[in-house]
Chain A
Amino acid sequence: MKRDKKRINVRAYLYSLPMGIWVTLFFAIPIAIILIYSFLEKGLYGGVEWRASLAAYKAILNPNFLIVIWRTVYISVIATAICLLLSFPASYAMARSRHQTLFLFLIIIPFWTNSLIRVYAWINLLSTEGLINNVLIKLGIISEPIPMIYNLFSVILVLVYMYLPFAILPLFTAIDRFDFSLLDAARDLGCGRLRAIILVMFPAIRSGFFNALIFTLIPIFGAYTVPLLVGGMGSTMVGNIIVDQVQKTRNWPLASAFSVILTLISMIGVMAMLGSGKKKEEMNEKLL
């Protein structure tokens, strides 16, 4: 199958090198730069001084930053868990439905609608003069508006909203490929309905589940826009700190150190998930 397997071939480079050069220049080198900068001293007016230092990593240990890191973990775990809990029954219903295309269409429309428009829509609903508060006051249920925005609640809610399709699409694909007659077999052998789903279906859709997990957890962990627009002082996340270090404090080493840590956590997360069982070989085959 593979052409000229072991021989070095000019054509191989002719085809692959343009992309290789591109990703080296615009991805590998920038990432290498922030890795190096994270071990340097901060320059007086932004930029860096070329003196080795661990100051940036020590600064991360500042309790104020540690709180934000902890909060980011906490928000990501809760929002991802809600996404997965909602999307499992929803994608199950979609896969079993006769109107799969219609439901996919309905899931994909919000997914393809500009993300800022979707955040903006929630601002209209949740803010103090927003629709929900207006309606509740008019109905006489509350007299004072409920603070529903610029807090942890609004950040988690909108994150769930934004990343729900990322969980539904891979789960739907996995459940759709599942052979449902296996469930019938399990029931004929005396297994309960829920037990059949847990014991027979869950193991079979494991890779879809991991995809859903990766594609929700990692972007939520690095979220920037949502906490910026619907979050408040008590709900900033690591993404916001990184940007503030670049734009406001102009502390490049600290921003770099945070980026390195966020990158490492994301990569460890992906490795851990892919490392589970034969998924790894499958993934390698797919990649190479």
Chain B
Amino acid sequence: MRSYYKEKRSFSFSNLCLFFVLLFLFLPLIVVIVYSFNSGRAMVWQGFSLNWYRELFTSSVGLWKALWNSIIIAITSSITATILGTAASIGIKWYRFKGRTYITVATYLPMILPDVIIGISMLIFFSSVNLPLGMFTIYASHTTFNLPFTFLLVSSRLDEFDYSTIEAARDLGAREYDTMVRVVIPSIFPGILSAFLMALTMSIEDFVITFFVSGPGSTTLPLYVYSSIRYGVSPVINALSLILILLSMAIAFTFRRFLKSFAASA
């Protein structure tokens, strides 16, 4: 049977739109990358140079400190969010108990609230209890905004889990601990891993919430970029952009098989 929609038409309205959308998405990034090799400061081409890269790697101490802070926060908050989210999704999927709806709603709400609200409410909370702003407050806030995603990703993996495996393990005399470590966790591990990676990228990326709950000495990479943009743009940021764009390409390429399920979960 001939299909009207399977005809290979390379030139159609929708393909044209996709082309322009991709052009629109990439044009600014390409410009930044090209100008990172410019010898001048302004947006006028003055010749090829690697000056900004030299400056990035040799005389940007603040930047490397900020990157280090970002990495620490990302790893600690993602591990916490993944462990709490995984445990809770097991508890909430498999049991009925008082407070179940409350925990579910309170976990999902941060996902739909604007970042500014989460940032401000945490700032006001931390100030009210006199908790000094710094690495801990950033860690706490990142864990909180990561929880809905780790919880959601592991829960949807648990939906596919065949519960009779647990009954089988029980019948064979496995205790709760053995059932978890040897049966449940290995089979939902892909979900746990994707939850962890999602949390890592969101933590590294976050600016707005971190902006409110950070204190002196706890600058993260996005905060560093922000202050460079706000207080005198330096082309060093162009050089940094290339590295960050390459990094996101490398991550996307590594997980190219999972991009479709990522799109579905986003």
Contacts and interface: CB of A to CB of B under 8 A. Distances in A.
B256 to A, nearest CB: 6
Interface residues of A, number: 110
A242 B90 contact: no
B207 A109 contact: no
B18 interface: yes
Q: Which of B6, B24, B88, B121 has the most CB of A within 10 A?
A: B121
B172 interface: no
A37 B121 CA distance: 10
B163 A1 contact: yes
Interface in A4-27: 4-6, 8-9, 11-20, 22-24, 26-27
A12 B113 contact: no
A112 interface: yes
A164 B18 CA distance: 12
Contacts of B141: 26
B266 A170 contact: yes
Contact of A180 (B5, B102, B221, B233): B5
Nearest to B12: A93
A90 interface: yes
B112 interface: yes
A134 B22 contact: no
A93 B121 contact: no
Contacts of B13: 89
B124 A287 contact: no
Nearest to B114: A222
B116 A239 contact: yes
Contacts of B102: 20
A151 interface: no
Interface string B194-218: 0000000100110110001000000
Contacts of A110: 25-26, 29
A52 interface: no
Interface string B223-266: 00110011001000110110011001101110010011011101
A19 B123 CA distance: 21
Contacts of B226: 116
A249 interface: no
Given A16-B91, A27-B106, A181-B3, A115 B121 contact: no
B251 A112 contact: yes
Nearest to B15: A93
Given A6-B96, A27-B144, A256 B124 contact: yes
B124 A37 contact: yes
Given A113-B244, A164-B25, A180-B3, 17 more contacts: A11-B91, A12-B100, A16-B87, A22-B144, A47-B127, A125-B27, A131-B31, A131-B43, A215-B266, A219-B114, A221-B114, A223-B114, A246-B120, A256-B120, A270-B112, A287-B104, A288-B92
14 contacts: A2-B94, A15-B91, A27-B106, A31-B117, A90-B18, A122-B28, A134-B44, A180-B6, A183-B4, A184-B4, A246-B124, A263-B113, A286-B156, A288-B100
9 closest Cβ pairs, A-B complex:
A222-B114, A15-B91, A16-B91, A12-B95, A121-B28, A19-B88, A30-B125, A89-B17, A112-B248
